[in-house]
A and B are shown apart, each in its own frame.
Chain A
C-alpha cells in the first residue's frame, strides 16, 4: 500500500467550492479517471482522502495538498494525466508523489493578497495600508469552536512585496498555518477594512506555498 500525496490548484470560479464539496468533487474525479484509490470498508464505502490544510471558501490556491492511498502499481504520472482529463475547470493536478513529511510538519503558509474597492484608487489603498501596518499592534480576535483568543498580528505575520496593480493593492503574506496555530489572512484583511471603512470591499486571496518551521517547502 502506497501513501501518495497530490498537489493541485484551485483557481478561478473553483474558489467558491467549499471544503466539503471539494472532498466530494475529488472523490468523483478519482472515480471518473479510473484512478485506483483505496476505498474505506463498511456501511458507506468511499475513497479515503485527507487534506493537509483547509482552505477558506473564496480563496484560490496553487498549492493544495491531499493524501490518498493505493494498492495498485499505477504510476504517479499516469494518475496525474488521468485526473487532469476528468477534473472540472479551475481544478488541476500539478503532481503526485509519495508522501514524505508528516502533515504536522506544516508551520507556515504563503499567500498573495489582492485588495480593491470601487470607491477608492490604488494610491489611496497603498497609503492607507501603510498607515495601518505602521501601528505597533494590530489586534484581531480568533474564534474557534472552543474559545476566543486575541492575537497581535504584527508579531505573527509578515507582509512583503507591497505593490499596486492599477486600482488593486497586492502584497505577499507569510502567516502561521498548521496544527500549532493557524492565522487566516481574513483576520488581517478584516482588520484593515475596519481601519479603512467603505462599501463593498473585494478581497482576493491566493495561497501559493506551504512551508515547514524551517522554511522549507512541505513535501
Chain B
C-alpha cells in the first residue's frame, strides 16, 4: 500500500495524448494522506477526463465526501486507449488522480452511471484497477463496488458487477453507506453482513439479495427479496435543495474539457411531463433552489475557479419561477467582472425579449431549441406542449437580437409516427428560414443557418413510452432517406445519429439480469468506449447476445403489454405505473396533458410530499 506511480508515469506520459489528464495536481483538488483518513473512496466516471470533469454530480459528491476529515475521495477517469495500452504494458494499475496510488486499495469504488453505453467501461476500469470484475469474485468487504446515477433506475444489466446501487439522489445516502461501512470494517464484519445491513437504508439496492424468475417466453414472472431486503426499493431524494450541500469550489482542469464553466444547479425534476423523457420523471418532484442560494453558489464558484462563464443548469431552466430575479441579481456583478451567463435547456415557449437580452450581455452563445417532432400532431403525442406560433416567435426574437444560426433537435421513431411527421421536420426548418428572410432589419451579408439534429428515439423505463417498441433498422433507414431527400436548402443542414448505438441503448435501457453475462462477454471481446464511434463494435455485441442465447429485438422492438412485469418493477421511483398507462393511452389518442403547475396529473411523485406538488400558487396559469 502507498506505492505511488509518480516516477513511473514520467516514463510513459510523453507517449500519450493530453498527458495532463493523468497527473492530477489541479487547482482545488483535494490531496490528503493515507495515514490521516480511515476510509478511502475512489469516485470513478466511466469515460475520459474531458467528459467526466464536466459532470456536475461528481463534483458535488467529491466535495461532500472530502469535507469529512476521516474520508479521502479521489477522482478516477477511464484512460484513453493510448494511455490504457501504456498502463497495461508497464504494469500500472488504475490509480486515483489525487494520490497516484492504485484504487484497489480503496475501501469503496463508486461509479456514476450516466448512460447505457458506458457500461463496458465500468468493467474495463475494474479490470485495469486489478479488481475482480464479477461481484461474486470479490469476497472481502473491501473494495466494495457501488453505483449511482440515472441509469440506476433500471440497474439489472449491471447486477453481476456491482455490489450496491443507490437509486435517486446521493447527497444523503452516500455518506450514510460510507459511515456504516466504516463501522462494519472496524468491527471486522464480512461483506455479506454489511450488504444485509446496508440494504435497510432507504435508497439502497443490493442486487444479490433479490431473485428473478422468468416465464417461458422470457418475460419476468416475479422478483423476490431475501433477508428482509425491501421490495420495492424506494429512491432517495433531497427535500430541501436550499439546505443541501453544494460545493464552494470546483477542481479546475488544466486541459480542455467538454463543459468548462461554473455550473450551478437551478432545480431538479421537471413539470412538463414530455412522454419520452426519463430524466423529467425520475427526478420528480420538481424542486427549486432560491435565487439567493443560486447567486451565492455562482459567486463563490467563480471566485474559487476563475471561470468566466456561469451555466444555469437544469432540465428546463426557463421553468424556474425566480428566473428574472436571479438573472437580475447575477447581472449586478457578472457584467462588471466579465462573466458570461449561459442558459442551456430553455423552452421555446417562455423565451422572451428580456431573457434574451440578459443572457447576451457579455457574450452570445448559440441558441438551441428542441421541438422534438416535426408536426403538431406528433408533438401532442409526445406531450411536448409547444405550438408553431411559439417556435416562430422565439426564432424571430433570436434573429432580432442578432443571432443568425439556430440549432433544432428532433427525434425519429416516435410512437404513431408517419412519413408526414418526418417531412414536417424539414418543413419547419424551411419556414424558420422564411421567417428570417421576412425580417425587415436583418443583418446584411449574413445568411441564416438552421442546423437540424435528429436522434433515434429510445424507449426508457419510467416513461409513458416504456411499453413502446423502438423502430427497426429498416424503418429508420427509410425515414432518414426520406428526410434527406426532402431537404434541398443550403441554409439547412441535417445531422442524424447512428442507428446501431441507439439500438444497443434501447436493449440495455429496458434490459433484465440476463444481459449481465452479455455485457461481460462483449467486454471480453474487447468492447469499451461504446459511445465513441471509432471504438464501437456492434458485431461483437450481437455475437455476445447470440452466445448468451438472447435476441436483442426482444428487448428493443417488442411492444410490452401493460400488465407485463418490468425488470425494474422492484425499483420505486414514485412514478405510478397506472399513471404511465393512462399517459400512454392519451398519447395514442394524440391528447396532451398539462404541466404540473397547471394541473396535477397524478404521477405519484406527490407521495414524496415536497416540491411543486405542494407549491402554493395564487394563479394556476
Q: In the assembled complex, which residues on chain A have CB atoms less than 8 Å from the CB atom of B90?
A: 200
The answer to whether B292 has its CB under 8 Å from any CB of chain A is no
Closest A residue to B302 using CB positions: A31
Among candidates A12, A21, A31, A46, residue contacting B254 with C-beta atoms closer than 8 Å:
A21
A200 to B20, CA, bound (A): 19
A206 to nearest B CB, angstroms? 13
Q: Is the CB of B19 within 8 A of A16?
A: yes
Q: In the assembled complex, which residues on chain A have CB atoms less than 8 Å from the CB atom of B12?
A: 200
B460 to nearest A CB, angstroms? 37
Q: Is the CB of B252 within 8 A of A12?
A: no
Q: In the assembled complex, which residues on chain B have CB atoms less than 8 Å from the CB atom of A39?
A: 338
- Proximity bits, A20-32, B CB within 8 Å = 1, else 0: 1100110111111
The answer to whether A72 has its CB under 8 Å from any CB of chain B is no
Among candidates A27, A45, A57, A118, residue contacting B363 with C-beta atoms closer than 8 Å:
A45
A103 to B307, CA, bound (A): 29
**Could you tell me which residues of chain B, from 306 to 355, have a CB within 8 Å of some CB in chain A?**
306-308, 337-338
Q: Is the CB of A88 within 8 A of B14?
A: no
Q: Is the CB of A13 within 8 A of B24?
A: yes
The answer to whether B66 has its CB under 8 Å from any CB of chain A is no
A198 to nearest B CB, angstroms? 12
A10 to nearest B CB, angstroms? 11
Q: Is the CB of B363 within 8 A of A88?
A: no
The answer to whether B27 has its CB under 8 Å from any CB of chain A is yes
Q: Is the CB of A28 within 8 A of B254?
A: no
* CB contact under 8 A between A31 and B306, given known A202-B11, A204-B10: yes
Q: Is the CB of A32 within 8 A of B25?
A: no
Q: Is the CB of B304 within 8 A of A16?
A: no
A43 to nearest B CB, angstroms? 7
Q: Is the CB of A88 within 8 A of B20?
A: no
The answer to whether A94 has its CB under 8 Å from any CB of chain B is no
A38 to B254, CA, bound (A): 22
* CB contact under 8 A between A21 and B255, given known A39-B338, A204-B10: yes
* CB contact under 8 A between A46 and B308, given known A32-B303, A200-B11: yes
Closest B residue to A44 using CB positions: B363
A203 to B338, CA, bound (A): 41
Closest A residue to B253 using CB positions: A21
A90 to nearest B CB, angstroms? 6
Closest B residue to A33 using CB positions: B306
Q: Is the CB of A32 within 8 A of B19?
A: no
* CB contact under 8 A between A21 and B306, given known A16-B23, A87-B27: no
The answer to whether B565 has its CB under 8 Å from any CB of chain A is no
Q: Is the CB of B362 within 8 A of A45?
A: yes
Closest B residue to A203 using CB positions: B14
Q: In the assembled complex, which residues on chain A have CB atoms less than 8 Å from the CB atom of B576?
A: none
A131 to nearest B CB, angstroms? 24
Q: Is the CB of A57 within 8 A of B25?
A: no
A47 to nearest B CB, angstroms? 9
**Could you tell me which residues of chain A, from 162 to 219, have a CB within 8 Å of some CB in chain B?**
200, 202-204
Interface contacts (Cβ under 8 Å), in number, total 74
- Proximity bits, A68-97, B CB within 8 Å = 1, else 0: 000000000000000000111110000000
Q: Is the CB of B27 within 8 A of A21?
A: no
**Could you tell me which residues of chain A, from 102 to 142, have a CB within 8 Å of some CB in chain B?**
118
**Could you tell me which residues of chain B, from 14 to 57, have a CB within 8 Å of some CB in chain A?**
14, 18-20, 22-27
Closest A residue to B339 using CB positions: A31
The total of chain A residues at the interface (CB under 8 A) is 33
Q: Is the CB of B305 within 8 A of A32?
A: yes
Q: In the assembled complex, which residues on chain A have CB atoms less than 8 Å from the CB atom of B27?
A: 86-89
Q: Is the CB of B25 within 8 A of A90?
A: yes
Q: Is the CB of B306 within 8 A of A32?
A: yes
Among candidates A13, A18, A21, A58, residue contacting B14 with C-beta atoms closer than 8 Å:
A58
B258 to nearest A CB, angstroms? 14
Q: Is the CB of B308 within 8 A of A31?
A: yes
> What does DSSP make chain A's interface, helix, strand, loop or mixed?
mixed
Q: Is the CB of B306 within 8 A of A29?
A: yes
A143 to nearest B CB, angstroms? 18
The answer to whether A14 has its CB under 8 Å from any CB of chain B is yes
Q: In the assembled complex, which residues on chain A have CB atoms less than 8 Å from the CB atom of B305?
A: 28, 32
Q: Is the CB of A17 within 8 A of B363?
A: no
Q: Is the CB of A58 within 8 A of B13?
A: yes
Q: In the assembled complex, which residues on chain A have CB atoms less than 8 Å from the CB atom of B363?
A: 43-45
Q: In the assembled complex, which residues on chain B have CB atoms less than 8 Å from the CB atom of A204?
A: 10
Q: Is the CB of A16 within 8 A of B20?
A: yes
The answer to whether B420 has its CB under 8 Å from any CB of chain A is no
A126 to nearest B CB, angstroms? 21
Closest A residue to B13 using CB positions: A16
B331 to nearest A CB, angstroms? 16
* CB contact under 8 A between A58 and B19, given known A17-B254, A200-B11, A202-B11: yes
A70 to nearest B CB, angstroms? 15
**Could you tell me which residues of chain B, from 270 to 310, have a CB within 8 Å of some CB in chain A?**
303-308
The answer to whether B127 has its CB under 8 Å from any CB of chain A is no
Among candidates B255, B338, B364, residue contacting A18 with C-beta atoms closer than 8 Å:
B255
Q: In the assembled complex, which residues on chain B have CB atoms less than 8 Å from the CB atom of A31?
A: 306, 308, 337
Q: In the assembled complex, which residues on chain B have CB atoms less than 8 Å from the CB atom of A58?
A: 13-14, 19
A187 to B613, CA, bound (A): 68
- Proximity bits, B353-368, A CB within 8 Å = 1, else 0: 0000000001110000
Q: In the assembled complex, which residues on chain A have CB atoms less than 8 Å from the CB atom of B304?
A: 32
Q: In the assembled complex, which residues on chain A have CB atoms less than 8 Å from the CB atom of B20?
A: 16-18, 21
- Proximity bits, A138-151, B CB within 8 Å = 1, else 0: 00000000000000
The answer to whether B435 has its CB under 8 Å from any CB of chain A is no
Q: Is the CB of B338 within 8 A of A14?
A: no
Q: In the assembled complex, which residues on chain B have CB atoms less than 8 Å from the CB atom of A28?
A: 252, 305-308
Closest B residue to A118 using CB positions: B11
A27 to B309, CA, bound (A): 13
A18 to nearest B CB, angstroms? 7
B144 to nearest A CB, angstroms? 30
The answer to whether B256 has its CB under 8 Å from any CB of chain A is yes
- Proximity bits, B219-231, A CB within 8 Å = 1, else 0: 0000000000000
A102 to B306, CA, bound (A): 30
Q: Is the CB of B11 within 8 A of A88?
A: no
Q: Is the CB of A88 within 8 A of B25?
A: yes
Closest B residue to A56 using CB positions: B14
Closest A residue to B15 using CB positions: A200
A152 to B322, CA, bound (A): 69
Closest B residue to A27 using CB positions: B306
A62 to B254, CA, bound (A): 19
Q: In the assembled complex, which residues on chain B have CB atoms less than 8 Å from the CB atom of A25?
A: 254
A88 to B28, CA, bound (A): 8
A129 to nearest B CB, angstroms? 20
Q: In the assembled complex, which residues on chain A have CB atoms less than 8 Å from the CB atom of B303?
A: 32
Q: List 7 A-B contacts (CB under 8 A).
A: A13-B25, A14-B25, A18-B18, A18-B254, A45-B338, A86-B27, A200-B11
Beyond A21-B254, A43-B363, A87-B27: 5 further Cβ-contacts under 8 Å?
A13-B25, A16-B19, A24-B254, A24-B256, A203-B14
On B, residues with C-beta under 8 Å from A are 10-14, 18-20, 22-27, 90, 252, 254-256, 303-308, 337-338, 362-364
Considering the complex of A and B, which 4 residue pairs feature the smallest CB-CB distances, nearest first?
A28-B306, A32-B306, A88-B27, A13-B25
On A, residues with C-beta under 8 Å from B are 12-14, 16-18, 20-21, 24-25, 27-32, 39, 43-46, 57-58, 86-90, 118, 200, 202-204
